[in-house]
Structure 1
Amino acid sequence: MTIFTDDVVAAVTGHMNGDHTDDNLLIARAFGYPGVTESRMVGVTGDGGVWVVTDAEGDHELTVAWPGGEISERPQIRRQVVELYKVACDKLGISARDEHAPEPTGGDDAGTPHAAAHPHSGNPHGGNPHGGNPHGGGRHAGATDAEGEQPFSSVIRESSWSDHSDSEGATFMEDIMRGIGTKQDYIDLVVQHYFMYEALEAAATQLVADPAFAGFHPTALVRMPALEADLEYLIGSDWREQIAPVPATAAYAARIREIAEEGWAAGIVAHHYTRYLGDLSGGQMIAKRVAKQHELDAAGIEFYDFSALGAIADFKSGYRAELDALGARLDDAERGRMLDEVRTAYGFNTAVFVDLGKAKAAA
C-alpha cells in the first residue's frame, strides 16, 4: 500500500475540508452513515480515503476504497476523489455536479489538473516560496456558465489542488481535527490567527473603499474583535505580552501587507478568499471539535461565530458570485496572477502548521 507524504495528505485533506464539506458529508452518507452530521477527511493512502464521521452515536472512522483500485501517484488522487464522489451520488440517487466532469489526460500537474498553459505574470516573487504551484493558473475544464466558460469561483476552487513544499509537521492541524491536539495547540493556533487577521483586515479596508470589491467584506465578517476576546479568555488580560508569530505567520502577514501597499485588490481577494471561506467551511468543524474536546462554549471560539452574517450558505453563494464578477473584469494575465496568489496563500497556511508543529516538538 502506498503511503503518501504528510505534505500531500495535508494538501488533499485541506482542500476537501475547506472547499468540499458537502461532498464529505455525501460520501459518508453513501458509505454507511446516513445520519451523518459532520464528516472530515483525515487521511489518504494508496488504497482509499479516510474520514472521521460524526452521527448521533458518536465519532467513527470511515475508510472508503478508491473506485479505480490502488493508486501510487499524487495526480491519481484527484481523479479517484472525483470518481468516489460520483459513486456516492449514484448510490444516493442524486445527480453529480458538472464541475466534476472527467478531466482530460495529460493534466498540468496534481495541483492544477487540466490547467491551460497560457502566459501570465505569475507570482511577483518568482513563484510560491511556501509551496504554491509555480505553473500558470489557466482556465479549467468542468462547470461552465451560459457562455461556455467555467465560473471564476470554480476555477479558484480547483486551483487549490496545488503542490505543497515539504510539510513535515503539518499534521499539527490534523491532530486538532482528530481530537488529539491539546488545548495549548488550539491556543497556539488562535495566536497565529491574530497576526494573520491583523494584516488581512487592515488590507481589507481597501476592498470596502472600492464599490467593485465592497461585497467581499461586510462588517459582519470582521474577526479581530472576536480574536481579541478569545485570546483574553484563553490566555488572560496580558495576552498581548505573551504572544508572538511563528516565522511562517510573520512572512504571511508581511506578504499581505506588501500586496496592500501595492494596492493590488485582486491579490487581497486571493488571501481574503483563502482565509474567510475556509473559516466558513472547515472552520465550523474546528469550532465544534474544539468546543467539545475542551468544553468551550461561546467564549474561546468566538472567532468561528458568523451568526451575524445570517445563513452561511447564502453568504458563501453571494461571495462566489462576487468572485465570478471579479473574474469577468480581469484579463487572462491578471486572472493567472491572482490564481498564483491563491496558491501562495494556501502555501503560507501549510507553512504555519509546519512551524507550529516544529515549535511544539521543540517545547
Structure 2
Amino acid sequence: MPDKRLSVVVTRRLPEAVERRMAELFDVTLRSEDRPMPREALASAMREADVLVPTLTDPLDAALLSQAGDRLKLIANFGAGVDHIDVTTARQRGILVSNTPGVVTEDTADMTMALILSVTRRLPEGMAVMQKGDWDGWAPTAFLGGRLRGRRLGILGMGRIGQAVARRAVAFGMEVHYHNRRRLRPEVELDLGASWWESLDQMVSRVDIVSINCPHTPSTFHLLNARRLKLMKPTAVIVNTSRGEVIDENALTRMLRAGEIAGAGLDVFEHGTEFNPRLRELPNVVLLPHMGSATVEGRLEMGERVIINIKTFDDGHRPPDLVVPAML
C-alpha cells in the first residue's frame, strides 16, 4: 500500500507547470482565484495541511500561526523574502520555514537597471508624448536626461542582488559604492570594483544614484528616513526594487515634490498597494507594480525550488532553503 501523500495547500495561483507537478507529487489543494487568500481561509488551511505554500501577500503573523494545527510542519514560501512570516513564532511551534533564495537575483538586478535608466533618461515622459501623439519632431533641448557613465551608484545592501546590480553598473561605466552590515571580502570588492562605506550617511550624501537592495527587517525599517533623505544631493535619484518599508515614503514624496531629490524609480511601496497618490502626479517618478521578479523563467524556478524543499522535507531531510531567525 503506497505511503500517504503530503497534504499541501497553495495560497495563490502559480504557473500551470508548477501546479501540475505539485499535483503529481502531493495531495495538493490549489487556489482558483489569483488574489490573496482571506485570513480565515489561511487559518483553516494551516489547521488542515501538512505544508502551506504562501506568497508575500499572505501575512503569517503570530496570531495567525497560533491557529495552526499539529499537522502543519512546513511553510514553503514561494519567494525569497520572508518578512511577511513570523519565522521565530513558526519555529517555536515546530514549523519549519523555507524560501527560494537566489532565483530572482538576475531578474531583479535587470529591473533595477531598467528603473535607473528610465528615471535618468526620462523614458516615461518620452513614451507619454508618443502615446498622446504630441511629438512634433526632434529638438536639441528636448527630454534631456543624464549620462550614466561616470556617475556614482550607492548600493544599500550588497547581497546577491546588490552584487548583480554592481556588475551591471560597472558595465555601464558607473562607479560602485555600497553600504552593508558586513564588509565584503577584499577579493569580492576587487572583482566588483566596489568601494565600501561604513557610514550610510556619508555614502548617500556623495552618490548620484541610490539603489535599495536590502531586505525589510526591524533594523532596516525607514533606514532611509526624512533626515537621511535630506542628505542626498538635489540632483540624486533613488531606486527601490527591494522592500518599500526601507524608505519613509511620505518623506520621499514631499522631497520629490519640492525638488529636493531629482527623481525616483519605485517597484515596491511602504504599504503594499496603498502608495502615496501624489507620487502618480510627478513626472520624475517611475512607478511599477512589483515587477522586479516577474519573468516566466523566474517564476518557474521559484516553483521548482518550492517543490524541492517540500520533497526533501517529505523524504525526512532538512529543506535545502531552510530559513532560521538568525538569518534575518
Higher gyration radius (CA): 2
Do the structures match in fold with TM over 0.5?
A: no
What TM-score results when the alignment is normalised by the length of structure 2? 0.29
Whose helix proportion is higher, 1 or 2? 1
Greater relative contact order (Cα < 8 A, sep 6+): 1
The answer to which structure has the higher strand fraction is 2
